Amino acid sequence: MAELYEGFTLCGLAAGQSWENSGILGIEPGRDADHVIVTGAGSTVTVYKVSDQKPLGSWAAKQGQAVTCPAVLHGQTGEYVVVHDRNVLRIWRDEDINFEKVFKATLSAAVSRIHALPSSEPLVLFQRGAVRQLDALLAAPQQAVEEVLSEEEVIRWSSCFLEAEQPLLLFSTEKSGECFLYLQKLNPDVLHKYNIGSEGKGVCPIGFTATLENKCITLLCLYSSGCVYKLLVSLHPSAEGEQHLPKSLLLKLPVSKGVLHRAAIASLEEGHIAIVGAPHSASTGDRDFLCIWNTNFQTLQASKKLAGGTYGQLWCNAGKLYVTHGKVLTVLPYRCEKSSLAAALGKLKQTSTQEVMSSPSVLNWNSFPHEEAALQQRTGMRTRNSKWNLKSQATLATSINQVLEDIKGVSREEVEEVLEPFLSCSPVSPQFQLGLTDIAVELLKRCQADPGFYPQSVLARLTQTGRLSHSSCPGFLMLVLEKRDYFLAQLCLQHFPDIPEAVTCACLKAFLSVADADLVRVSVDLEGVSLMDGPGQSLEGVQNGFSPVLLEEDSCDVQLTPPKLDQSSSWTDVSLTCPVGLKKSALLNEIIQSSYSESFLLPHLKDLSAQQIILFLQYLQYLYVRSSGDVYTQLPGLRAPTITQIMDWVSLLLDAHFAVLVMAPEAKGLLAQLHRFVRSQVRLYSELGKIQGTLQELSKINKAQEIGLYSIEVIELF
Amino acid sequence: MGEFKVHRVRFFDYMPSGIRCMAFNRKADRLALARLNGSVEIFNFSNNYFQEKVIPGSDSRSIEAICWVGCDRLFTAGLNGEVVEYDLERLCPKYTLDAFGGPIWTAACNSAETHFAFGCEDGSVKLFEILPDKIQFERNLDRQKGRILSLSWHKTGTLIAAGSLDVIRVFDVKSGHSVQRILVDRGPAGTRNKDCVVWNVAFLSDYTIVSGDSAGKVQLWDANKGTLIKTHLVSKWDVLSLSVSENEDSIVAGTSEGTVIQFQLLSPTIGDAETQWIRTRTFKHHTHDVRAVTETKTSVVSGGLDTQLVICPRMDKVEVKSSESVLRKVIFPHRSLVSCAKKPSLLLFQFPDQLELWRLGGTDTVGKPGESLPVTRKPEKLIQLKRKGDDHICCSTISECGHWIAYSTVSSIRLYQLQCDNNNISISKVSKLPKVLRSAHQLQFSADSSKLFVASEQATIHVISLSRSECTHVHTFKPKSGSSAPVHLLAASADGQWLTSANRHCEINVYNLKKLKHHCMVPVYNSLPSAMAIHPETNNLLMAHADQQVFEFSIVDKQYTDWSRKLQKEGLHRCRSKWHTPITHITFNPSAPSQVMLHDTHMFCIIDQSLPLVDLKAQFYSRLTPKDMSETDRPSKNNAFKMCKKYQPLLHVNLLEDDWLVVVERPLIDIHSQLPAPVRQKKFGT
């Protein structure tokens, strides 16, 4: 589940910017993750320390000079490189103050972009498609540059990678509605050209993002129709010459009307992409959103409304998204989590749990008034108060990592102490839900490594937040079972949405085999059985004059003669003592109510021993008698199993172990009783079937036709 | 032949007014009923509960109490402080008298019928002497604090019990002093700051006072000692009405919840001589306040805000199954409020305060029976005509051609001429009406629209000749018997020769319009005619009576026709006997004159006079519906009687040309939706 954290303003946009143009040319990574180089806003280049929102240095070109490509940092020398007036290259260092006096080289051709690589010489991409390494270019600034692109072909986007110490440059061009892709390799100099193909009239690619993975470049392309296509560009193409690149539809954004104009895409890790300037739901159609989508499941993971309209500019650097909107450049930290089943459900599932789990908000050091922050961001004002907020924001972002560090290698008590403030605020601030999983996984690792370490109360607190799932921390439930922590096992069964059948079955096995005496000191949530009578209480199975009497005749007709008294076969009498203790029954009820798929559960059910099966069947029988004796099909209590769930489990157990049960002498009576249940159920349904026709007639009658104030009808009188 | 296209009309927003109070006259077996809009209705219980007379209401009148004196004198008193005696012949107030005590809440007449007592807003009880032709103020009893809301005389006429706020007082009539003051306790905790309103008192001859109050209690008091004998908590809300049976063995109480509760004087153990009041039955026929209850010998009658009069039989008093042993609900008046101009397809709806003229819609497609056709031309409200003055409209009619509309209140008759060319409708009042026209009980245009027949309040019938320029009085018919009974039905023949009138003494007179003289009188039948019409071709008069009998009388031969005798022999009424509403309209099919159509609230039927009546009984005993029979077995070909219960409840049915039918329905749910919300009650499961 990806999450967008509360953003903050890095800088305001220059006053002269228009509706289309934000004035920002580009944002490039600085010397570490916390520094960025912002180019634009009146031909200036500014270096910011992001966490402090503070400019560290700013250089402006002379009046009349215009910076034409984003400045980059030469990673090896620590020099900044920028091009102004298309072909004038400038290189300077942090210490340089006067931009006019820094190194200057005039090139022979116009430069499109400079791409910096962390451990390699920067690449200069010329507007006509040629690529040079910076050092080679500086050696002879006036060297001739070849023309790669044809006339009227313009570069739209470019990106560079380093593969096996070999720099690569990927750029896309457009020529009269057709799109091409070039892959330029250096040393040796190889150029591949691809045709992306067009997507119908008026639909053009408006945003690109590429990642290099496993010697293959994945290019994601956002079209103005709202479709995101995935193109795989091999680094070692077999064929020569222009090739057609096949593309596959990855995601279709709900663009209800018109086409997208100003939108941008950025690929994040783990199959997530960020898109700005496109609506996230067809119903709103509002485009001023920054959204994170999971491309594997095509679910919306996070979205944020951007005040003041977007410009379709989006950069991603070191876990932060930079987006221009309104009059500000906003930094939004994000986090993407590994895809899991629970996370795949996306934002919708999460909001529903949040609603259910609405707990009183606790104000403490790391929660701050969201409303106020949002307001200040809208107005772009930076008061002292907002500064404080941003500071706490930074603390927040680091706190998860801090906590993760802190809980390593400390004792159980210390873990509790460390996590206490964290857990007390977690329901309030959604940005912590990802941290929760991390903490759970971390604790799990420690528990598995160190058998003596088992912070039960912390684990229970984590489980109770409802944000954990089995797929996000596999092995959790098994560990709990291993530790014979039935209280936590019950919590897990209640809160995990995605427990595999094998684990469910293991739980069942553990619950069935535990002795009632062992459960005495275990505290178990008895809500599921809260209103059930204690074991051994008999039932008056008569409600509204209805006495569920089992008839021995095979016919399904109702027999009006009362059953013989000596028969004691009024099946409500049978085994009305609960075969298991109260706590055990609460645990078993959780199993009965857990979700499962029959075909996956059946093989695991076969692991149960005959004794366990018989005990469970006896309990199910007891539940059935309890619930069917009642007019209401649900047992009292909030989480009591329904009669359908009970019957399904009986059927499953019988399916899995019928042969065993038939052979076991002690199961004979039980099977006979169950047979009676089935017969009574069959008869009930046949009786219901009989009145079905009558009821259908009733529904026909009730379908009162709508007659207005006036109608004309034709009747025939007899 | 039996196929009709039906205009199903539901846009007549007729809304009956709620029932405020009732008085049952045991000697005359008639119930007088006053509604919230000031109208008074008289139901004849011995004549199949027929709504015999309606005295139209008036905006200036509000009735709180109604009282019979003798067989034929009726008084009401109301919040305008006036006492009204009604003229039951002319169906209008005879005189009004101010009691000078502010609004009158209650009235009671002593058993000797010599004196009235009125309970007034100012706390006074005023005694009026009843004289043969008027009432006269005699004196006040001692004035007390608080309005007097209920009064009851002791049988001896020496004591009066008066219910007020939180207190019941007993007055000595002779001295005028209060001799007993009984405090009524307020409701349960939480309502103690609210006055307990004693809505009703009843003084029994054994000096027991029964009271019903706003705290939901029916209480029995000893009037001599002023002590409480017994409390019955019957409702969470108010007990609004109370009635004691004639022989004082039963009390009924109506509540705000819509229930009617019966108490009976019974001995707790069999054979014990000692008796006490025991709550026995609860009737729930109303949804709203039961504002009035009364008991007859065989039934409990109740009425309230939900506008219906419910006559619920007391099964312990009914010995044989008869028409008395069924529950009756009277919701709609026993007369037609709709008149129809057949040719231009116009409907005139009569409301108490206005008339509405509608033109029916149409379709240009044809369909099979059971189908609903698309409406290509929507119905259209042409005119909404507000009445002038305070008095409510009592009758109205539209001429066959649709060019004339007439209506009458108790004070005036108005005649309008209607010009309708294409979409322009203009209406002009005929200003100069002949002087003889003052008020009408019934109005009828002749078939050719050249004459207006006015049944006047003097029991005469004026014939007015109509023309574009002027209206002239042609003749006045007087009934030959000299009866002064009001005429409530008029029928004119299609050829313009005959006019028949029916009055409330069951007399039906036939007049010859050509010779302007009385032609004959139909033999008097002992049940009131509820509808009549003259056959357009044979000039036979068809009459339907309140007891569901239908007769055909040949005007020319001055005798009942053979068909009528046959019908009596076969017993048409058998099939109708389970319906209890009278036939309110008879008409003929213009395209098949042998077909007679008659309808009541629940059904309409078409009788083909040309077909034999033989299998009539067999058909109605058989439960098979004709639809289920095969084509050959179907009795439709030779069966005279066709009926339709599809449309309910019916306010009007008429046969137009080309086998068109117009059906005016008024669904009860529409009436209920316009009623105020009933008191909230906890229902199981809500």
- Summarize pLDDT for A567-615 with one digit per residue, the tens: 334 444 444 677 888 888 888 888 888 888 888 888 888 888 888 888 8
Q: What confidence score (pLDDT) does residue B63 get?
A: 93
Element (H, E) at A628: helix A610-629
- Residues in chain B closer than 8 A to A715 (CB atoms): 3-4, 6, 369-370, 644, 646, 661
Which residues, 6+ apart, have CB-to-CB distance to B574 below 8 Å? B616, B617, B620
Using the Cβ of A713 and the Cβ atoms of chain B, whether some distance falls under 8 Å is answered with: yes
Distance of CA B62 to the CA centre of its chain: 18
- Residue of A544, A705, A707, A715 to mutate, testing the B interface (most B Cβ within 10 Å of its Cβ): A715
pLDDT in tens, A669-692: 888 888 887 888 788 888 888 888
- Residues in chain B closer than 8 A to A717 (CB atoms): 2-4, 606, 636, 642-644
Q: What confidence score (pLDDT) does residue A377 get?
A: 43
CA distances from B20 to B37, B62, B63, B76, B306 (A): 9, 9, 7, 11, 10
* Residues A194/A242, Cβ–Cβ less than 8 Å: yes
- Residues in chain B closer than 8 A to A707 (CB atoms): 8, 10
Joined together, the tokens standing for residue A60 give: 């402006």
- Residues in chain A closer than 8 A to B379 (CB atoms): 709-710
Shortest Cα–Cα distance, A714 to chain B (Å): 4
DSSP per-residue string spanning B205-219: TTSEEEEEETTSEEE
- The angle subtended at Cα A180 by Cα A175 and Cα A181, nearest 5°, is 145
* Residues B441/B55, Cβ–Cβ less than 8 Å: no
Nearest CA in chain A to B365: A712
Counting residues of chain A whose pLDDT is more than 70, the rounded percentage is 77
- Locus of tokens 């906890």: B682
Counting residues of chain A whose pLDDT is more than 90, the rounded percentage is 0
Does the ipTM exceed 0.90?
no
Which residues, 6+ apart, have CB-to-CB distance to B194 below 8 Å? B186, B187, B214
Q: What confidence score (pLDDT) does residue B680 get?
A: 67
Q: What is the pTM of this model?
A: 0.55
Q: What confidence score (pLDDT) does residue A556 get?
A: 39
pLDDT in tens, A176-223: 778 888 888 887 788 888 887 766 667 788 888 888 887 788 888 888
Q: What confidence score (pLDDT) does residue B42 get?
A: 94
Chain B residues with a Cβ under 8 Å from any Cβ in chain A: 2-11, 361-363, 366-375, 378-379, 606, 625-627, 634-636, 639, 642-644, 646, 661
Q: What confidence score (pLDDT) does residue A530 get?
A: 45
**Pairing mode, if any, of strands A243-244 and A190-195?**
parallel
Q: State the SS3 of A252-320.
A: ECCCCCCCCCCCEEEECCCCEEEEECCCCCCCCCCCCEEEEEECCCCEEEEEEECCCCEEEEEEEECCE
Give the A:B interface size as CB pairs under 8 Å: 78
Average pLDDT rounded to a whole number, residues A136-143: 84
Q: What confidence score (pLDDT) does residue B309 get?
A: 93
What's the rounded Cα separation, in Å, for the pair B573 and A98?
118
The answer to whether the Cβ–Cβ distance between A714 and B362 falls below 8 Å is no
Q: What confidence score (pLDDT) does residue B512 get?
A: 92
Beta bridge mates, B381: B358
**What average pLDDT values come out for chain B (686 residues) when binned by 10 residues?**
84 92 92 93 90 91 92 91 91 90 92 91 92 90 89 92 92 92 83 85 93 92 92 90 91 92 87 86 90 91 92 78 76 91 90 92 85 87 89 92 90 88 82 86 91 89 87 88 86 91 90 91 90 91 88 91 85 60 89 87 85 59 45 54 83 89 90 83 60
What's the rounded Cα separation, in Å, for the pair B83 and A589?
77
Residue ranges of A 557-586 with Cβ closer than 8 A to chain B = none
Average pLDDT rounded to a whole number, residues A114-119: 84
Of B367, B379, B625, the CB nearest to A710: B379
Q: What confidence score (pLDDT) does residue A638 get?
A: 54
Q: What confidence score (pLDDT) does residue B392 get?
A: 92
What's the rounded Cα separation, in Å, for the pair B508 and B447?
20
HSE-up of residue B673 (Cα within 13 Å, Cβ side): 7
Joined together, the tokens standing for residue A666 give: 């002690």
- Residues in chain A closer than 8 A to B370 (CB atoms): 714-716
Lowest-confidence segment of A4-18, A655-669, B254-268 by average pLDDT: A4-18
Residue type, A86: R
Q: What confidence score (pLDDT) does residue B585 get?
A: 92
- Helix, strand, coil: what percent of chain B each, to 5? 5, 50, 45
The answer to whether the Cβ–Cβ distance between B10 and A708 falls below 8 Å is yes
The answer to whether the Cβ–Cβ distance between B372 and A717 falls below 8 Å is no
Using the Cβ of A544 and the Cβ atoms of chain B, whether some distance falls under 8 Å is answered with: no
Res A380 pLDDT > 80:
no
What's the rounded Cα separation, in Å, for the pair B647 and B630?
25
Using the Cβ of A712 and the Cβ atoms of chain B, whether some distance falls under 8 Å is answered with: yes
- Locus of tokens 């095509």: A298
What's the rounded Cα separation, in Å, for the pair A245 and A225?
19
Average pLDDT rounded to a whole number, residues A153-165: 84
More confident residue, A282 or B380: B380
Check residue A495 and report its DSSP letter. Answer: H
Shortest Cα–Cα distance, A707 to chain B (Å): 9
Element (H, E) at A210: strand A205-213
Phi first, then psi: what are they for A404, rounded to 5°?
A: -60, -40
What's the rounded Cα separation, in Å, for the pair B557 and A174?
108
Using the Cβ of A704 and the Cβ atoms of chain B, whether some distance falls under 8 Å is answered with: no
Q: What confidence score (pLDDT) does residue B682 get?
A: 61
Question: What separation, in Å, do the N-terminal and C-terminal C-alpha atoms of chain A show?
Answer: 72
Whose CA is closest to B62, among B81, B43, B75?
Answer: B81
DSSP per-residue string spanning A104-144: EEE-SS-EEEEEEETTEEEEEEETTS-EEEHHHHHHSTT--
Of A710, A716, A718, the CB nearest to B8: A710
Res A551 pLDDT > 50:
no
Q: Is A634 helix (H, G, I), strand (E, B) or coil?
A: strand
What phi-psi label fits residue A409: left (phi over 0), alpha (psi between -120 and 50 degrees) or beta? Answer: left
Q: What confidence score (pLDDT) does residue A373 get?
A: 40
